Structure 1
């Protein structure tokens, strides 16, 4: 599988892997290291996450898609075109590189909150969320990692370059 662009945990035994050069999701066994299932898609992908028995996938040239394990696919939101995504239950968290912001939406595409702070977060890239809904984002240009609270209103710089902040 060339050019791997994303990975997410499915369960204790399986991870899902996507590639920007293939139109599918590979389910890989952690025990054997081999694909145990391939879910075909109609698009090349960059980022993905797994929540509530479905994958949220960031196609290379299209809107974010929900791909269910039964192979049903639907668009999320009307204009959600992003590369990095994380999830917690019905909430999806993604970065908007062009506006240096982080957005939290539900699976229907309704915006729950938006975080923007050009000083502390510049060039957002990778994103993850913990079980409490705190969001962690890499600032590529600001060379840091920030934590955003569950409301999207407060944040803290956790890491700058090679220096821990706590």
Structure 2
């Protein structure tokens, strides 16, 4: 059973922290000072990919072996990577200004998936053939299918500076509003939405989010260094 894995980008921690199922620190993998740690995704139960965002050193993605707790490989990329996800075959990552890319997990070669104007600090998720990503500076969430835009969501009354994004097994999109301090759930077709209250639950500065489809739990992190775990039920 997986525990939780975290990175700390804002505080320049340069480490990957693992918590076990009892929320106890299992390990902290120290990264080189040349690298930051922005986002991560599991490739399998022993391997994660970590994007470094804006870094003092090289630009790319770290492949980290959780068994040896060492960096297994560094993948050089043409632009700073931020949000990253895994569709079962390829790593998919988005950069600040130019495009969305795919990385083959066999030989770690990369190809451009689509050229779309991004924004700073985008996050990305997948569901089936769909790719959903946030554009914080534009206050939008967009959904692509086979490189074509399926829908774009924008409602600045409830969602400002969208950050972390995740998708449940039904295709519902959960997205964090960093500036609006909200969690918004968007329907699979992008036409309906629901706001989840956060401040009453102690989430004053939500930043990233992850949906555990097996446990039906939602993990939401706060910028001020702690996270909340919620059980999700459908009515």
TM bucket (normalised to shorter chain) is 0.7 to 0.9
Aligned to 1:14: 47
Aligned to 2:102: 66
Match of 1:112 among 119, 141, 150: 150
CA distance in 2, matches of 1:110, 1:96: 17
- Tell me if the contact between 1:64 and 1:80 (Cα under 8 Å) persists in the aligned partners: no
- Tell me if the contact between 1:85 and 1:127 (Cα under 8 Å) persists in the aligned partners: yes
1:100 aligns with 2:133: no
- Tell me if the contact between 2:123 and 2:133 (Cα under 8 Å) persists in the aligned partners: yes
Which has the higher Rg, Structure 1 or Structure 2? 2
CA distance in 2, matches of 1:48, 1:141: 21
- Tell me if the contact between 2:100 and 2:115 (Cα under 8 Å) persists in the aligned partners: no
Alignment of 1:11-90 (within 5 A): 11-20=44-53, 21=55, 22-69=58-105, 70-82=107-119, 83-90=122-129
The one-character-per-residue Cα deviations of 1:78-112 (angstroms, maximum 9, x if unpaired) are: 32424211112321111122332211102x32011
- Tell me if the contact between 2:98 and 2:115 (Cα under 8 Å) persists in the aligned partners: no
Which 10-residue stretch deviates more, 6-15 or 57-66? 57-66
Give ranges in structure 2 of 5+ residues lacking alignment: 1-31, 203-232
CA distance in 2, matches of 1:51, 1:119: 32
Which 10-residue stretch deviates more, 35-44 or 121-130? 35-44
How many residue pairs end up in the alignment? Answer: 164
- Tell me if the contact between 2:175 and 2:183 (Cα under 8 Å) persists in the aligned partners: yes
1:4 aligns with 2:4: no
